[in-house]
Structure 1
Amino acid sequence: MKWVNLILILFLFSIQDLYAQQNPEFLNSNYFLLESRINSEYSAEHAYRDTTDDGEFPNPKSVMFKSMMIPGWGQIVNRQIWKVPIIYGLFAGVGYYTIHLNGQYQDYRAAYYNSFPDNDDLRFGPTPGYLEGINANQLQSNRNSLRNQRDFMFVVMGLAYGLNVLDAYVFAHMRSFDVSDDLSAKTVIQPAMIADRSPGVSLRITLYNR
């Protein structure tokens, strides 16, 4: 059927090219009216599709702000509720490990401070039993290492929060893209006005879901 339409269009072109030599203004006006009619129908069809899509897919910026306020909210709006336990599991794991590192850092700081004879005020608390008798240099090295690890976990927590926002924002954009196996291509060949108001042919390829 498409080949028949193409042959008919080419046949009409051949006839109108002969007629254009005698009356070019009439030919240009006919092409202009035909092109405008086809383009208006095409625009109306896609305007209806865009209106339908706006009601179906959420606004990416709105999803982003919701994820910033409450982590996981954007994933729920995107209908990816299965990601919410992963997000909060990540937060819980990072938070627990941060608390563990901070507790060890507090112990080594107290042990290092109390390792000097002049520091007898127990400013950071008593020395834990498992740290008694350890060299002061080793206590200082471990204290600094634990402090750096704890501070880095704060950065990881911030990255996890940012990843939650980014995931919701990007997927809100990607939801409007159809990646199903039922995609088809629609080819439209139609008259068009090209350079110098000369008649020609335009080719439009549209992807749609069968």
Structure 2
Amino acid sequence: MLCYSQQTPDSTVVATPEDLNIKTNTTVREAIDPLAPSKAAFYSAILPGLGQAYNKKYWKIPIVYAALGTGIYFYIDNNNELNRYRDAFKRRLAGFKDDEFYGNGPTPLISNDGLIRAQRQFRRNKDISLLVTVGLYALNIIDANVDAHLLQYNVDENLSLRPHIRYNQLESASDLGLTLNFKF
């Protein structure tokens, strides 16, 4: 006959430090700087693109400058065209017939009403391009702020959401699911 026995440990004995299992490779999390989003927004307000550089998103800087440069270009172009038509209209009101829109014949190429309509159109386009440029400037600031917030978002294995597919043998079909893991 074979017998095996086990000795139960005494619960009154205190464990020595050598017996304790201590985890040495714990994850150290970076400290969250609550002022980082406001710094990024402030930097972008001072100089467009500086908030993106603060967030280390350097690829966004050319996009910011291209967007703002395009808006400024259209503002200046519409302002120049508005000034051309306004100057021609003022010269006609003063009695001159030598503006660039009059032409060589006895009748003008563009009438006075046409000059007035052109002035309205270019003034409207100038105002719209100014609003778009200001909107893009504000969008630059908002992007830097939101991006700095998202950089502080905790993404680690202690909180995970994963899709999974399991084969159900009873029904001979695949079951789709979503697993949420939260570890303390």
TM-based fold match above 0.5: yes
- Supply the AA of the counterpart residue of 1:172: A
Q: d(CA) in 2 for partners of 1:135 and 1:111?
A: 11
Matches within 5 A, 1:32-181: 49=29, 52-54=30-32, 59-116=36-93, 119-120=94-95, 127=99, 129-130=100-101, 132=103, 133=108, 134-178=110-154
Q: Is the 8 A contact 1:108 1:131 kept in 2?
A: no
Structure 1 stretches lacking a partner, 5+ long: 1-44, 187-204
Structure 2 stretches lacking a partner, 5+ long: 1-25, 161-180
TM-score (norm 2): 0.63
Q: Is the 8 A contact 2:51 2:141 kept in 1?
A: yes
The superposition leaves residues 137-184 of structure 1 with CA deviations (integer Å, 9 ceiling, x where unpaired) of: 1110111111111012111111111000000001110112245xx745
- Supply the AA of the counterpart residue of 2:76: I
Q: d(CA) in 2 for partners of 1:207 and 1:78?
A: 29
Instruction: Using the aligned pairs only, state the percent identity.
Output: 26
- Supply the AA of the counterpart residue of 1:54: I
Count residues with an aligned counterpart: 134
- 1:103 Cα shift? 0.9
Normalized per residue, which structure has more helix?
1
Pair 66,185 (structure 1): closer, same or farther in 2 beyond 3 Å? closer
TM-score (norm 1): 0.55
- Stretches of 4+ moved more than 6 A in 1? none
- 1:97 Cα shift? 1.3
